[in-house]
Amino acid sequence: MNKINIQAGQIIFREGELNNSMYIITSGTVEIFFTHKNSATRLALMKKGDFFGEMALFRAKPRTATARAVMDTEMVAVESKQQLERYLLANPEFAAKMVRILADRLANTNELLISKLNEITTKEIEYQIGDT
């Protein structure tokens, strides 16, 4: 794992890039955002002890968001599943935190998916009723 120092305003990665690293913030702040129709939407503001980019370790797909340092930031780059595994074994408190956060993110994603499916179903029903 490599320590990285990032200056305020510097981009860590951009949506669409292929990059397999995840990052753990040891000091500073990073914002995660995506752009749609030339408008940036902040997804998260990460601080010391937070992690981001973890999906890159598990999927060989382009980034879905951009990460930018809000202030001067120091991070650790985790570049492989093996590095992450060793880090989690050596830091059980962080491992427990990571499990909690990933479970929360999954629950939020499930809620969003269910909400969108309900919207689609409602529109289909309205369309069918209006069609008859």
Q: What is the pLDDT of residues 4-59, one digit of tens each?
A: 999 999 999 999 998 889 999 999 999 999 888 888 889 899 999 999 998 888 88
State the pTM of this model.
Answer: 0.79
Q: Is the CB of residue 31 less than 8 Å from the CB of residue 44?
A: yes
Helices (H), 17-72: 55-58
22 Cβ neighbours under 8 A, 6+ residues apart: 51, 52, 53, 54, 56, 57, 77, 78, 84
Rounded CA separation 122/96 (Å): 39
Residue 25 has φ and ψ, to the nearest 5°, of -85, 125
CATH fit for domain 1-79, picks 1.10.3470.10, 3.40.50.620, 2.30.36.70, 2.60.120.10? 2.60.120.10
Give the tens place of pLDDT for each residue, 53-88.
988 888 878 898 999 999 999 999 999 989 999 999
Domain range annotation of the chain: 1-79, 91-131
